[in-house]
């Protein structure tokens, strides 16, 4: 599906250049101050070429986002294979926050673009969602996590962390959300 047609050599190169430049500009936060045409020039590419590879700003973002998500998914798989379920889940959620904090600009830009009604990025995060779902399911199965709350709720909380990028106390609050989610996920005692 992803590889319908084997790209020609130069096309591949331009595409890479666009992605590399995108990552840079996303990170510095200048993406929205830049005319899309100028972005093309910045990447050393003609306008037409830019538009053929990535018809919209969102399409470009999606490609970058996919890379980020892939990294996180690898991490999830690794944790799942080496730690007890509950611990794997906890570590992963904290790692997501770490990762986001380490690439704040990128996360900002992606979150902003993601909000555009296109929903283009929803597609890209499917893999991430699957990873979280697996981690939660495993922890539920071994009894460390309650089974009456969907993994989607955890995704939603993560979404909040990403979307609320402009809060002054972002880091502390993000940690707080994770703490709440993890505490909330613990199998509740039989008392009300």
Cβ proximity to DNA, 47 vs 91, nearer residue: 47
* Under rule CB under 7 A, residue 46 binds DNA: yes
Distance separating alpha carbons of residues 172 and 46, to the nearest angstrom: 43
Which of 20, 44, 84, 153 contacts DNA by CB under 7 A? 44
Distance separating alpha carbons of residues 170 and 13, to the nearest angstrom: 37
* Minimum distance of its own copies from residue 162's CB (angstroms): 8
Site residues for its own copies, 96-155, by CB under 8 A, read 108, 111-112, 114-117, 119, 122, 148-150, 152-155
Q: Which does 4 bind (CB under 5 to 8 A by kind): DNA, its own copies, none?
A: none
Residues ≥6 apart with Cβ < 8 Å to 189: none
Distance separating alpha carbons of residues 97 and 178, to the nearest angstrom: 9
Q: Tokens 């590399």 correspond to what residue?
A: 20
114 with 121: CB under 8 angstroms?
Answer: yes
Binding residues (CB under 8 A) for its own copies: these are 29, 32, 108, 111-112, 114-117, 119, 122, 148-150, 152-161, 163-164, 166-167, 169, 172-177, 179-186, 188-189
């Amino acid at each position: 599906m992803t590889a319908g047609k084997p790209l020609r050599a130069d096309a591949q190169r331009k595409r890479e250049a666009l992605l590399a430049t995108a990552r840079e500009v996303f990170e510095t936060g200048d993406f929205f101050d830049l005319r899309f045409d100028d972005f093309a020039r910045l990447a050393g590419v003609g306008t037409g070429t830019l538009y053929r590879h990535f018809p919209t700003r969102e399409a470009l973002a999606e490609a970058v986002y996919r890379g980020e998500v892939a990294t996180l998914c690898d991490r999830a798989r690794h944790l799942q294979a080496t730690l007890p379920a509950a611990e794997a889940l906890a570590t992963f959620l904290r790692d997501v926050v770490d990762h986001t904090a380490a690439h704040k600009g990128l996360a900002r830009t992606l979150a902003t673009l993601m909000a555009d009604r296109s929903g283009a990025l929803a597609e890209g995060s499917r893999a991430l969602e699957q990873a979280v779902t697996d981690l939660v399911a495993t922890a539920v199965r071994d009894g460390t996590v309650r089974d009456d709350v969907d993994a989607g709720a955890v995704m939603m909380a993560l979404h909040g962390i990403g979307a609320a990028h402009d809060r002054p106390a972002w880091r502390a609050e993000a940690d707080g959300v994770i703490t709440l989610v993890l505490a909330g996920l613990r199998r509740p005692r039989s008392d009300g």
